[in-house]
Amino acid sequence: MITMDDIIRDEHPTLRTVAEEVSFPLDDQFKNLASDMIEFLKNSQDEEIAEKYDLRAGVGIAAPQLNISKKILAVHIPAELEGSEPLSLVMINPKIMSHSVQRTALQDGEGCLSVDELYEGFVPRNKRITVQYYDLDGQKVKKRFKGYPAIVIQHEIDHLNGILFYDHINEQDPFMIPEDMDIFE
Ligand SMILES: Cc1nc(NNC(=O)[C@H](CC2CCCC2)CN(O)CO)c(F)c(N2CCN3CCOC[C@@H]3C2)n1
Ligand code: NI
């Protein structure tokens, strides 16, 4: 199982590297990695397991955080958060094809399992995104996301491009709210 010891931290060069596309047919090592990533997120959200293995809670994780520089990410958002149904998926070679002009930011800012320091401030994200990606069977998927899931997915896709959340925080005024941005409560 994945634990915090497997997660590399800021300053590790892999976190600032553009990850490689994955080729199909997907070999077993990546299928196993994908299920390990989802399992980690579920474990991290289970109070007992998280306590037992000292896991920081997460709703998303990207392969580069495990020092695997490949374009693979996993998201596992429980129902109560995402608003309606839970969202649990693995994206391979994801690409944001289009996005809204309107932006949004989480009211409490963002954190990252690979960043131990706290960086306060709003992280502007596109409010709506259309993502093209491949699923574990190699099927091409094109899906629209908005609000909370869209924020999580953008945080993870950033990791595949060597970008960390605090790169987006306005240094002059971390809590500034540009005209085209609202706050996601
Ligand atoms: C918002 C939030 N971020 C948590 N952690 N950070 C992460 O997930 C990082 C990725 C998120 C940071 C902002 C957007 C994406 C991990 N990242 O570094 C991966 O690249 C949480 F844990 C969390 N929740 C709410 C849901 N709750 C359900 C019950 O269990 C506890 C859980 C706590 N919400
Ligand atoms: Ni992160």
Residue 156 has which token pair? 């993870």
41 CA closest ligand 1 atom index: 8
State the amino acid at position 108 in one-letter form: D
How much is the pLDDT for 94?
98
How much is the pLDDT for 42?
97
Query: Which residue stretches of the chain have pLDDT < 50?
Result: none
Q: How far is the CA of 25 from the centre of ligand 1 (A)?
A: 31
45 CA closest ligand 1 atom index: 30
25 cis-preceded (ω within 30 degrees of 0): yes
Cα(68)–Cα(96) distance, rounded to whole angstroms? 21
Q: How far is the CA of 61 from the centre of ligand 1 (A)?
A: 9
Q: How far is the CA of 156 from the centre of ligand 1 (A)?
A: 11
- 45 CB-contact burial (10 Å; exposed 0-12 / middle 13-18 / buried 19+): middle
The model's pLDDT over 42-57, given as tens digits with 9 standing for 90+, comes to 999 999 999 999 999 9
59 CA closest ligand 1 atom index: 8
Active site residues: 156
| Nearest CA owner, ligand 1 atom 33 | 57
How much is the pLDDT for 85?
78
Residue 181 has which token pair? 């941005």
How much is the pLDDT for 127?
98
Claim: this prediction has a pTM higher than 0.95: yes
